[in-house]
Amino acid sequence: MSTQDAYDLGFRSVDREFTDRRLPVEGTVPGWLSGRLIRNGPGRFDVGGERATHWFDGLAMLRRYAFADGEVCYTNRFLRTGAYDAANRGERTAEFASGPGPVRRALRWVRALGPPESTDNTNVNVVRFGDHYVAQTEAPRRVAFDPDTLATRGEFRFTDDLTLHLSTAHATVDPRTGETVGFGLQFGRRPQYHVYAVDPETAARRRLGSLRAAGPGYIHDCAVTRDYVVLVETPLRIDLWRMLVPWGDGLLDTLHYDDDRGTRLLVVDRRTGDLLADPVVSPFFTFHHANAYQADGEVVMDLVAFEDASIVDALAFEALAADAFAAAPDGRLERFRFDPTATDPDVTRARRYDGGCELPTVPRSVRTRPYRYAYAQATDRRGANGLVKVDLDRGTATEWWARGVYVEEPRMVQRPGADAEDAGVVLAPALDTGAERSALLVFDAETLSLLARAPLPHAVPFGFHGRFFPTDG
């Protein structure tokens, strides 16, 4: 099957919702696997006879894979938000790259006497704050949902006075404290990054620290260690003046890559909120981090690095329609090490996997801690996306590929009570272009052998991120 088949199926809107659909299982799902993999991503790209211009702009649709006694049940549900209601009226809200058009947008500015409220189309990720299951995007609005039915419960709001105009869709759970660590950007004459932590019991958010945003930069994810939070401020800058004009078409319209600037690593002390160091390295762009930890007085940070920010434009539909993902640049898994307490930190950079990859993940238990294995989507083979397990200690990798199969973000789930870091399974949705439908793949986390395949009743558009929530918490 060609990459065009992947484009046609992976970016096709769906209109049917399934509830607790028991999936046929080819192979064996381990009986110990009990819980829910809940994923987020776009499910509909067409509104009012027009198509979104970018992958990031589809209407949010949750997918739930429930595991019990070796069986898998599937539910998908669109989030019933203001953006969803507007789409049903044939109106498009302003998203990452797609907008309502200059005339309609200007009218909205006039009616709102200023910038309208940001989108509630929370189509990127899912988190848990206390007892609340929440869908997030990079807009500072969050939507709560029922984890069993995926029914929309309404907007989730923190009760603090922290002002954010952009907020990360990624949040890292510290297994030591249970806190969820995140960050956001506040516009203004002196834009600021705010780093925060969410209490695991009360779901209350507290500010850890604030620091000046130079540029500011577009930052999608961050690194968290026991004592530090690292924001990687790449040369992809946000033009705040363009953000404020009524004729723009979303965040993408405000971004520009300044290759005269380096990439700045901002290290925030989690205890004091102070900026400890901000070394500048040669320019690169990143979306996603794998993990970070402290060792021998240094921060060790693993992320997927791109040479520049061309990947952002490569995911627009105009580019994807030409040759799907074939023209998109590949990111590389790289390790950065430096002493954050040094006066002028010397940053070393080393590649940990030579192949292209994205969407890295590690088991929850090793986040913020020294670890050995990372799992990711493998991207540098035409006509497929694979799965890769990287041994970061040995610098070796194990790969899985199948022709015409496009693996999405993997999630590693450790077997309860296991001592070995890689004892468990890797769960990965995938689009099978030959079968013209999606499937959930279950791999042995140690060997990457395929244990089970559970075909879905339809082809699901390529999603973004998700999280596994075990039955026992």
pLDDT score for 100: 55
Contacts of 298 by beta carbon, 8 Å cutoff, 6+ apart: 337, 338, 339, 340
**Per-residue confidence band for 240, with pLDDT thresholds at 50, 70 and 90:** confident
**Count of CB atoms situated within 10 Å of the CB of 416:** 12
Q: Determine which of 74-88, 314-328, 337-351 has the lowest per-residue pLDDT on average.
A: 314-328
pLDDT score of 380 more than 90: no
**Per-residue confidence band for 103, with pLDDT thresholds at 50, 70 and 90:** very low
Per-residue pLDDT of 146-164, as tens digits, reads: 999 999 999 999 999 999 9
pLDDT score of 77 more than 80: yes
pLDDT score of 344 more than 70: yes
In which residue are the tokens 């993999």 written?
A: 37
Contacts of 424 by beta carbon, 8 Å cutoff, 6+ apart: 363, 412, 413, 414, 415, 418, 445
**Per-residue confidence band for 188, with pLDDT thresholds at 50, 70 and 90:** confident
Domain parsing of the chain, residue ranges: 3-347
Per-residue pLDDT of 410-426, as tens digits, reads: 999 999 999 999 999 99
Q: Determine which of 85-94, 158-167, 248-257 has the lowest per-residue pLDDT on average.
A: 248-257
For the chain, what is the mean pLDDT? 91
pLDDT score for 8: 86
Helices (H) and strands (E) in the chain, counts: 6, 37
The CA–CA distances, whole Å, from 262 to 85, 230, 265, 281, 352 equal: 42, 16, 10, 6, 22
Percent of the chain with pLDDT over 90: 80
Asked if 378 and 355 count as a contact pair (C-beta separation under 8 A), the reply is yes
pLDDT score of 101 more than 70: no
Asked if 413 and 425 count as a contact pair (C-beta separation under 8 A), the reply is yes
pLDDT score of 104 more than 60: no
**Count of CB atoms situated within 10 Å of the CB of 158:** 16
